Amino acid sequence: MEATGARRIGQSLAKQGILIAFALFMIGFTIANQRFLDPDNVMGVMRSSAILGVMALGVTFVVISGNLDLSVGSMMSFSTIVVLDLHDRIGPELAIPAMFLMTLGLGAFIGILVGYLRLNSLIVTLGMLSAIHGLTLTYSGGQNMDIDDKAGTWFSVFGRDEALGVPMPILIFALLAAVLGMALAKTPFGRKVYAVGGNGTAATFSGIRRARVVLSCYLISAFCVATAGLIQASRSLGSQNTVGQGLELEVLAAVILGGASLLGGSGTIFKTVIGVLILGFIQNGLLLVGLEFYVQYVVTWVIIILAVWLDVAAKRGRLWSSIA
Amino acid sequence: MQPGALSRNLKNGAIWAFIVLELIFFTVAGEYLSLSEKNFMDADNMLLLLKQSAPIGIIAMGMTVVMINGNIDLSVGATFALAAIVLLDSMTWPFMQAMGVGAIPLAWLFALAAGTALGALNGLIVWKTGVDAFIVTLGAMLGYRGLVFMYNGEQPTSHLNWTLVDFAEAQFLGLHTATWFLLLVTAVMWFVMNRTVHGRNAYAIGDNRAAAVNAGIRVGPHMMINFMIVGFLAALSAVVFYSESGSVNPNDGELYELWVITAVVLGGTKLTGGAGSIVSTFGGVLAIQLLRKGLSHIGADTETVNLVIGLILIAVLILDRQLNIKGREALRT
């Protein structure tokens, strides 16, 4: 009995492991540097995590439905470049919806390939990573994109302004997280996403239109990417073609840290937000204690593997794998 | 003919047919569009193409093995960079400098050992923790890149050794050193996958892990060996490339994993494991390099290369699926 009791405690510990690790990190960094929990610092971390976070929200849907999205980084570059270019051509009022439509179009393309044609999402989005990058470069001619009249445009509200004392990127992130979190946890659609990711065949037999659910997930992801591109463009008012390069893997790291399984069927928006914050605070904490930015890469590596290891170990009830 | 044999032959030959198509297209289009006087099929141009295929190609051979085994390695780009740093930096160590020319093979050995060790670490984690290889190597991609930066900060690491440069630039029987390494690696890996117990087991594990376990195959060690192979080959690729260039930036090798996986998938290896061939991967590597060179030959912007390769990858996937469906129908009737 005691052994099972200990195991149960171990399992529930492992389930909440990511929260515990987060708490330990916060305590450690606060002891190491008093400025860490300073409201300004916390706000700064959250603001700089917002873009990554918004993208991670959409990828959470895709991952729960049992697929991957490696194209979000180049897609974010695309939407940033497009909205900046269109801003000067047709004005921000039209540029923003136009950019959202174009990004959603890309998402729909991926969704149709993965959902309706049943192609492997890893390769499709790998191909799209490359293709959208090429599309962006062709669109911009390889040039950086800048808004001409930086002082005279209201376009900067999404990235630079504050409302109720909170920076807009954080507000957008929080709002989107709340809406998508509700959609995933409380609506029939959300349950379908879990069902499709958990067991696609069973979901199909119980009358769920799997392809449509997958397509919806990629559309949500594209919408989030477009929002992230909007924040990025609005904050910088000028951008390189490679602004989102490499973000796809950081986003995925955040989602995995949050405990979503790559096999699909598990994960929540709340946990993804925690994953995003952990990455953000680690980065910031390491910088504050005077370590170079690249130390966070190594720390992230260790944390990802430990977090996922604890997760799978809790599920199988043993620490070490049974692979011979 | 056995049912399904036609589609199988079609699929195996597809990458070579694609290469021939590329050659014809770029030769003909080059006549009209190219600004240079030279033909696309110029011998020097083709030799250069082989040489330029080597860095991606050598790693792709290892990736093929890992993918046949049912795993994936996203950390090869970072391993590539780390091995390059070990190679160049170790030659500046005092005791190595005292050794003169003898330091070169030792530096190669250090770099190859570093790559193999990083691969072994990945393999060991996948084996012992049971965490998916995708996640383990995604983490390692970040972690190893961090190690690369920690080695020398954001500064490039440089060391030119002229003996080494001469070796790397040498041509034997018309082929460059890098090309010879690519061919050698292809031949050795073909042998390993087709003529050894390890190769057969790798296919078996990738095809059906549970069945492999029941057949008494020790899955873990085989997976670890395969990760060591890809780590070793990533280091070998770096060793061949940086012997010539002599300078490595901490960002070098970024996105290599994506290029390598694209080449392997173009060659027809399945992500789910159990199927794939070294020779087809060689075809995939050539196809990508031909596309890059060809597009620039006909004056297309280098930007379009990404677009075209991405779309071709997806097209191949759709085609592959259609052929598979055809094959199954043939079986049914």
Closest CA to B223 of B112, B133, B139: B133
Q: Which element (helix H / strand E) includes B275?
A: none
Q: Which chain B residues are within 8 Å of A119, Cβ to Cβ? A: 314, 317-318, 321
| Residue B211 Cα distances to B205, B207, B221, angstroms | 8, 9, 16
- Is A314 inside any structural domain? no
Instruction: Say if residue B35's pLDDT is above 80.
Output: no
Of the pLDDT bands very low, low, confident and very high (cuts 50, 70, 90), residue A15 is: low
Contacts of A169 (CB under 8 A, 6+ apart): A47, A50, A51, A158, A159, A231, A235
Residue B1 confidence (pLDDT): 44
Residue A217 confidence (pLDDT): 97
Q: Which chain B residues are within 8 Å of A118, Cβ to Cβ? A: 321
Least confident of A48-57, A309-318, B172-181: A309-318
A154 — phi, psi (to 5°)?
A: -85, 0
Which positions 204-223 of B are in contact with A (Cβ < 8 Å)? 213, 218-220, 223
Overall average pLDDT of the B170-177 stretch: 84
Of the pLDDT bands very low, low, confident and very high (cuts 50, 70, 90), residue A4 is: low
Highest mean pLDDT among A270-274, B110-114, B275-279: B110-114
Distance (Å, whole) CA B330 – CA A6: 56
A12 at B interface, C-beta within 8 A: no
Q: Is A309 close to B129, i.e. CB distance below 8 A?
A: yes
Of the pLDDT bands very low, low, confident and very high (cuts 50, 70, 90), residue A256 is: confident
Q: Is A304 close to B301, i.e. CB distance below 8 A?
A: no
Q: Which chain B residues are within 8 Å of A312, Cβ to Cβ? A: 129-131
Beta strands in B225-312 (DSSP E): 247-248
> What DSSP assignment string belongs to A257-283?
HTT--TTSS---HHHHHHHHHHHHHHH
Residue B6 confidence (pLDDT): 56
**End-to-end distance of chain A based on CA atoms, in angstroms?**
29
**What tokens were used for A15?**
């389930």
Q: Is A138 close to B314, i.e. CB distance below 8 A?
A: no
Residue A221 confidence (pLDDT): 97
* pLDDT, tens only, B273-293: 888 899 999 999 999 999 888
- Is A263 inside any structural domain? yes
CA distance B123 to chain A (A): 12
Q: Is A132 close to B310, i.e. CB distance below 8 A?
A: yes
Regarding predicted confidence, which is higher, A15 or B94? B94
Residue A12 confidence (pLDDT): 64
Q: Which chain B residues are within 8 Å of A322, Cβ to Cβ? A: 130
Q: Is B271 close to A123, i.e. CB distance below 8 A?
A: yes
Q: Which chain A residues are within 8 Å of B73, Cβ to Cβ? A: none
Instruction: Say if residue A179's pLDDT is above 70.
Output: yes
Which positions 234-263 of B are in contact with A (Cβ < 8 Å)? 250, 254-255, 258, 261-262
Residue A51 confidence (pLDDT): 94
- Is A190 inside any structural domain? yes
Residue B280 confidence (pLDDT): 92
A322 at B interface, C-beta within 8 A: yes
For A239, the 3-state DSSP assignment is: strand
Q: Is B303 close to A142, i.e. CB distance below 8 A?
A: yes
Residue A14 confidence (pLDDT): 59
Q: How many CA atoms lie within 13 A of B205 on its CB side?
A: 27
Beta strands in chain B (DSSP E): 157-158, 171-172, 175-176, 247-248
Say if residue A66 is exposed, middle or buried (CB neighbours under 10 Å; 0-12, 13-18, 19+): buried
Distance (Å, whole) CA B185 – CA A182: 53
Q: Is A137 close to B303, i.e. CB distance below 8 A?
A: yes
Q: Is B127 close to A321, i.e. CB distance below 8 A?
A: yes
Q: Is B146 close to A295, i.e. CB distance below 8 A?
A: yes
Residue B11 confidence (pLDDT): 63
**What does the buried/exposed string (b/e) look like for B180-219 if buried means 16 or more CB atoms within 10 Å of the residue's CB?**
bbbeebbeebbebbeeeeebebbbbbbbebeebbeeebeb
Minimal-distance CA residue of chain B relative to A132 = B307
Q: Is B262 close to A142, i.e. CB distance below 8 A?
A: no
Q: Is B271 close to A142, i.e. CB distance below 8 A?
A: no
pLDDT over 90, % of chain B: 45
Interface test mutation site (partner A, options B67, B255, B303, B324, max chain A beta carbons within 10 A): B303
Farthest CA pair distance, chain B: 73
Report the domain count for chain A: 1
For B38, the 3-state DSSP assignment is: coil
Q: Which of A117, A245, A302 sits opposite B318 (nearest CB)?
A: A117
3-state SS track over A64-88: HCCCCCCCHHHHHHHHHHHHHHHHH
Chain position carrying tokens 């099972």: A4
Overall average pLDDT of the A195-213 stretch: 91
CA distance A298 to chain B (A): 4
**End-to-end distance of chain B based on CA atoms, in angstroms?**
14
- Is A6 inside any structural domain? no
Instruction: Say if residue B253's pLDDT is above 60.
Output: yes
- Per DSSP, chain A holds a count of helices (H) and strands (E) of 14, 4
For B248, the 3-state DSSP assignment is: strand
Residue B221 confidence (pLDDT): 94
Of the pLDDT bands very low, low, confident and very high (cuts 50, 70, 90), residue A150 is: confident
* pLDDT, tens only, B40-83: 777 888 888 899 999 999 999 999 999 999 999 999 999 999 99
Residue A166 confidence (pLDDT): 85
The whole-chain average pLDDT of chain A stands at 87
Q: Is B318 close to A123, i.e. CB distance below 8 A?
A: no
Regarding predicted confidence, which is higher, B330 or A190? A190
- Is A125 inside any structural domain? yes
Overall average pLDDT of the A178-201 stretch: 94
Instruction: Say if residue A148's pLDDT is above 90.
Output: no
Q: Which element (helix H / strand E) includes A146?
A: strand A145-146
Distance (Å, whole) CA B143 – CA B19: 37
**What does the buried/exposed string (b/e) look like for A132-151 if buried means 16 or more CB atoms within 10 Å of the residue's CB?**
bbbbbbebbeeeebebeeee
Residue B331 confidence (pLDDT): 53
Residue B333 confidence (pLDDT): 43
Instruction: Say if residue B326's pLDDT is above 60.
Output: no
Distance (Å, whole) CA B91 – CA B87: 7
Q: Is A117 close to B314, i.e. CB distance below 8 A?
A: no
Q: Which chain B residues are within 8 Å of A313, Cβ to Cβ? A: 129-130
- Is A19 inside any structural domain? no
Distance (Å, whole) CA A166 – CA A54: 16
Overall average pLDDT of the B163-185 stretch: 87
Instruction: Say if residue A22's pLDDT is above 80.
Output: no
A112 at B interface, C-beta within 8 A: no
**What tokens were used for B258?**
């994506």
Instruction: Say if residue A127's pLDDT is above 60.
Output: yes
Residue A212 confidence (pLDDT): 95
Which positions 282-301 of B are in contact with A (Cβ < 8 Å)? 301
Minimal-distance CA residue of chain B relative to A254 = B139
Residue A1 confidence (pLDDT): 42
A320 at B interface, C-beta within 8 A: yes
B147 at A interface, C-beta within 8 A: yes
A123 at B interface, C-beta within 8 A: yes
Q: Which chain B residues are within 8 Å of A124, Cβ to Cβ? A: 314, 317
Q: Which chain A residues are within 8 Å of B314, Cβ to Cβ? A: 113, 119, 123-124, 127-128, 131
- Is A33 inside any structural domain? no
- Is A1 inside any structural domain? no
Distance (Å, whole) CA B117 – CA B236: 13
Helix axes B303-332, B278-297, angle to 10 degrees: 140
Interface test mutation site (partner A, options B126, B306, B328, max chain A beta carbons within 10 A): B306
Highest mean pLDDT among A120-134, A242-256, A297-311, B117-131: B117-131
For A180, the 3-state DSSP assignment is: helix
Distance (Å, whole) CA A155 – CA A152: 9
Note down the domain range covering A100.
50-267
Regarding predicted confidence, which is higher, B179 or A1? B179
For B102, the 3-state DSSP assignment is: helix
| Residue B185 Cα distances to B24, B59, B232, B282, angstroms | 28, 9, 11, 10
Which positions 144-163 of A are in contact with B (Cβ < 8 Å)? none
Highest mean pLDDT among A121-125, B251-255, B314-318: A121-125
Closest CA to A251 of A221, A220, A287: A221
Overall average pLDDT of the A161-190 stretch: 92
Q: Which chain A residues are within 8 Å of B306, Cβ to Cβ? A: 130-131, 133-134, 137
* pLDDT, tens only, A214-235: 999 999 999 999 999 999 999 8
Q: Which residue type is seen at A116?
A: Y
Overall average pLDDT of the B285-313 stretch: 84
* pLDDT, tens only, A61-95: 999 999 999 899 999 999 999 999 999 888 888 99
Which positions 55-94 of B are in contact with A (Cβ < 8 Å)? 74
